[in-house]
Amino acid sequence: MKKTIAFCFAVLATILWTGSATAEHKATLKLASALAMDHPYMVGAQRFADLIKERTKGNITVKLYPSGQLGKGEREMTEGIQQGAIDLLVSSTGPLGGFSPSINILDFPFLFRDFRHVDLVLDGAIGQRLLGDFEKANIKGLAFWENGFRHLTNSRRPVKSVEDGKGLKIRTMENKVHLAAWKAAGFNPTPMAWGEVFTALQQRVIDGQENPIAVLYSNKLWDAGQLHFSFTAHVYSPAPLLMSKKTFDTLPAPERQLFLKTGSEVAKFQRKINRDEEEAKLAEAAKRGVKVTRDVDRDGFRRAMAAVYGEFGGQFSRAEIDAIINAK
């Protein structure tokens, strides 16, 4: 009888200790980004950090490292995520295909109609599968945040049509699909880590770049001579919130679920801020001398870039591509 009572107390003590250890799991995690604190990436990251701290009663702190503090570019920082040197990262999809090839399906030009179409795909089964594929690279995909629809800027001339832009040397992400699309349109694309771009634009090593409005604004690209903005909306650029699987696996199960839930919750907040602020940011850019061309011949760009579907479409089933295009 005494042995039975002693055994029961031992089991109870173990349960209480385990529950206490889970509740008091303490950690300080590093969240990195290539972009500045006023970019929607980091506005979302701050919201995420605040919620994690609040919901873990201060036991888990997420410290923010913007502007490439933890790596020269997103590729290098993604490697840091793999290795566990960085805990969390908000990244464009540009270099991520080298880690999880299936994510490249999102980089086809003119794949998405509008923001509603984006949300249907990324918040649905397709988006969840793409996030899940990161685990093969020792990375945990928490949620899809966003950078936005990408547009062309340059220092030389207004670009309304494909013909207007032929020969322009523009920086692109380190992404084969993007490079091929711009080559097909007659441009001279150059892959470059984001940390090198501002200086390259200032020194006229390149003529332009392509990015969402928030990047133009956050980095004040007008100060680097980017005074011509073309509303091309040629590619939608999601921003996965990634976590080192090494770090994720150290968390107790309730905290793992908390990180997944909070990442998805903040996705809605972050996307809304990004979208709501675009017109105001473009207006501010115009005050700084940026000439905005809205009546771009997008059909011409779509036709010129369509060749990449033949070149890279074989990496994905036609059914996968059509499932995204036809989502309603």
Confidence category of residue 72, pLDDT binned at 50, 70, 90: confident
Average pLDDT, the chain: 92
Domain assignment present for 63: yes
Residue 216 predicted with pLDDT over 80: yes
CB count in 10 Å sphere of residue 144: 25
Whether 15 maps to a domain, the answer reads no
Query: Which pLDDT score is estimated for 201?
Result: 98
Longest Cα separation, the chain? 91
Q: What is the tens place of the pLDDT at every residue in 186-198?
A: 999 999 989 899 9
The domain of 131 spans 25-325
- Asked, for residue 275, whether it belongs to a domain, the answer is yes
- pLDDT tens digits for range 145-167: 999 999 999 999 999 999 999 99
- Asked whether residue 14 is domain-assigned, the answer is no
Count CA atoms closer than 13 A to 326's CA, side-chain side: 6
The model's pTM is 0.88
| Contact assessment for residue 144 and residue 238, using Cβ atoms and an 8 Å cutoff | yes
Q: Give pLDDT, residue 4.
A: 44
pLDDT of residue 3: 44
| CATH code (residue 52) | 3.40.190.170
Q: How confident is the model at residue 21 (pLDDT cuts 50, 70, 90)?
A: very low
- The pLDDT of residue 187 is 98
Q: Is 31 inside any structural domain?
A: yes
Residue 4: inside a domain, yes or no?
A: no
Q: Which two tokens stand for residue 224?
A: 């680097």
Q: 98-114 burial, b if ≥16 CB within 10 A, otherwise e?
A: bbbebbbbbbbbbbbee
Q: Does position 49 have pLDDT exceeding 60, yes or no?
A: yes
Note the pLDDT of residue 314: 87
> Per the structure, how many domains does the chain have?
1
